[in-house]
Amino acid sequence: MPRVKRGMTSHRRHKKILALTKGHRASKHSLIRRASESMAKSLYYAYVHRRERKGDMRRLWILRINAASRAQGLKYGQFMNYLRESGIDINRKMLADMAVREPEAFSSLVTTAKEKVQA
Amino acid sequence: MKTYSTKPADIERQWHVIDASDKILGRLATQIASLLMGKHKPIFTPHLDTGDYVVVINAEKVRVTGNKAKQKLYYRHTGYPGGLKSVTLEKLMETHPTRALEHAVKGMLPHTRLGNSMRKKLKVYAGDTHPHVAQTNITQP
């Protein structure tokens, strides 16, 4: 029977961890103890922030809609209220996209919403 | 379909000229800060500086409400023990007429490198003239 030397499995495990912590600062990408702590943290942060991203995007859409509708003389809250009352059902993602890519369509949306509510 | 993400090449920067005479310090500073950050544009993107340039004239004539001219203190530390100095707004306006407004705007911008680059787009002048007359894309007050 051939002689078995130790270290093979742990070396493979270490290699996997060090591959995941590439680019981390200081000793966190080279020393296995620091790297395994760093890997655990980074995977956890990635998991949490993937969930947080949904809210982050919604915040950004609202900010953009607000910027575009304020240019038309309506605050964000008023604009959304007018849209709801006039039965226009477009989500925030599309509204924000219209504000950037189709400014004319967005401004006509603001005027129709205004007219429908005030009529 | 992905949310629009601004590229640095897509950013068009305007120049705004604002007359500060008889405006309230803090209320003016919020307006300036949002122009510098680009919060008034639908292309606003948090990791980029999408803001405009702001030129403020007549900064020495900016007002505050109440007794703040006599009571509001600006602090600095010299680095030596007991070196905390303070100066009232009134005194500060005499010696450095643009500094109060710059300080107020600085406090309203992000305290990051991005915030520093936003702050560099603010040009404050005590008098009613400014040297940026050669700029195209500029609005008059």
Which domain covers residue B30, as residue numbers?
A: 14-65+98-124
Give me the pLDDT at residue B140, please: 62
Chain B CB within 8 Å of residue A93 CB: yes
Which tokens is A118 given? 């005030």
**Closest CA in chain B for residue A57:** B3
* Residue B141 confidence (pLDDT) above 60: no
- What is the residue whose two structure tokens read 């007429």? B97
Give me the pLDDT at residue A118, please: 78
- How far apart are the CA of A14 and the nearest CA of chain B, in angstroms? 35
Q: What is the pLDDT of residues B38-89, one digit of tens each?
A: 999 999 999 999 999 999 999 999 999 999 999 999 999 999 999 999 999 9
- How far apart are the CA of A32 and the nearest CA of chain B, in angstroms? 33
Q: Assign residue B51 the CATH number of its domain.
A: 3.90.1180.10
Does the residue B113 lie in any domain? yes
Q: What is the pTM of this model?
A: 0.84
| Closest C-alpha to B19, from B103, B139, B118, B117 | B139
Mean pLDDT of chain B: 92
- Residues 16..45 of B with a Cβ closer than 8 Å to A: which? 39-45
Task: Enumerate residue ranges in chain A where pLDDT < 50.
Answer: none
The third-level CATH classification (topology) of the domain covering A7-118 is: c-terminal domain of poly(a) binding protein (1.10.1900)
Give me the pLDDT at residue A87, please: 85
Q: Which residues of A fall within a CB distance of 8 Å from B46?
A: 60
Q: What is the pLDDT of residues A87-113, one digit of tens each?
A: 888 898 899 999 999 899 999 998 888
Distance separating alpha carbons of residues A57 and B100, to the nearest angstrom: 36
Cα-based angle B58, B61, B64 (whole degrees, multiple of 5) = 135
Instruction: Quote the number of domains for chain B.
Output: 1
H-state helical runs in B1-136: 25-37, 68-71, 89-95, 99-108, 113-119
